[in-house]
Structure 1
Amino acid sequence: MKKTKSPPAPKPAALTEKELAARNDAALARVDGMEDLEKLRNLMANADRMGVMPVRDAAFRRLALIQTEGEPGTIEYDALQTIFAYEQLVREELGKAKRLTRTRMKLTKSGAVNALSDFPTATAEYSAFDTLIARGLQDLTGEAVILRHADDFDSATRDKAEARLEAAKAVPEDAVTDA
């Protein structure tokens, strides 16, 4: 008996610009309600593969948000979001999870202010700043957190944070000094 090959399945028709925009808008609308870390990571990967950066960025921010415990708007909460954001970028780059153990320990032992105070003067070993800036996530840098909570830091630390962001041409709109 001779087997015959079935013809290949027809390729789906290309989406129109309008259909593509509607699909992307629907994906963007779903992001705010998502709670599953792996589903968010899958959405990010798919959006990245398809070049839909608004969906990818929204999923990335949501991922950092749902991992963060505590009271939104506090310095501890913002510092943890910075840590989660950078850890996710490293995870994407390396293909495996890598935690900022020293930063987390310092945050736990000495508090967010002490942990963040070193960020503006960090050396080349501190690649989180450059990585976050390159991805357009300047509001998630430790320096932006310092500026959002300016009253908690001395003027020298605030000045260094502002200078570092300005040197990178990345002063976040929501990082304004109160002092």
Structure 2
Amino acid sequence: MTDDKAERAIRMIENCSDAKKLRQFAANARREGLEAVARAAELRLYEVLPKEKPGSFEHDVWRSIYALEGSLTSERGKTTRLGRTRPKIAQLGELETVKDLILRKKASEGFFMLIDRHMAELTFEAVALRHPAKFDDPVLEVAAARLRSVGIEIDRLQRN
């Protein structure tokens, strides 16, 4: 695929809201060795999968979950679900789950997995910073410090 075709594919992906088509875009691009196109398709997929209103806190939480699950599924070749996070959300809700994971002494495994996959904007810490009205200052301070500790500029993560 030429650069022009790749650019056209990325533009099509940006306007696509069909999860099945986005998965196919990603699979085709990966098969052709076009990682940038595959990544664009996957990131768009994580944007359209949540049923919650785009831009909402809940949408951002589920976008994070789908991103980590999607990455792990792709890498492992088998469906992978976050077996502790999903039940915790079912029990406590998105807000309390995010607070709890941020306030732990050590960052969650999911935090490092998303950082390692260059998806810092999808960590729960970044989600909290984009929705500061939902959190107390100590939560926001820990979230910002944790992101800074791994070299992430928090200014670019806030309210995109």
The 3 A distance-change label for structure 1 pair 122 and 106 is farther
Report sequence identity in percent: 33
Deviations 1:10-54 (A, max 9, x none): xxxxx7xxxx11110111111134344344234224434545343
Q: CA RMSD in A?
A: 2.2
Consecutive unaligned residues of structure 2, counting only runs of 5 or more, are none
Are the equivalent residues in 2 in contact too, given 1:138–1:171 (CA < 8 A)? no
Give the Cα separation in 1 of the matches to 2:55 and 2:105.
24
TM-score normalised by L of structure 1: 0.77
Partner of 1:131 in structure 2? Answer: 113
TM-score normalised by L of structure 2: 0.85
Q: Does 1:174 align with 2:157?
A: yes
- Partner SS state of residue 170, structure 1: coil
- Look at both structures and tell me which one has the larger radius of gyration over its CA atoms: 1
Consecutive unaligned residues of structure 1, counting only runs of 5 or more, are 1-14
Matched residues, number: 157
Are the equivalent residues in 2 in contact too, given 1:31–1:62 (CA < 8 A)? yes
Q: After the TM superposition, which segments of 4 or more aligned residues of structure 1 sit over 4 Å from their partners?
A: none
- Supply the AA of the counterpart residue of 1:90: L
Q: Does 1:144 align with 2:126?
A: yes
Question: Which deviates further from its counterpart, 143-152 or 28-37?
Answer: 28-37
Question: Which deviates further from its counterpart, 167-176 or 72-81?
Answer: 167-176
Give the Cα separation in 2 of the matches to 1:106 and 1:155.
23
Deviations 1:44-94 (A, max 9, x none): 244345453432222111111121011112111110111000000110121
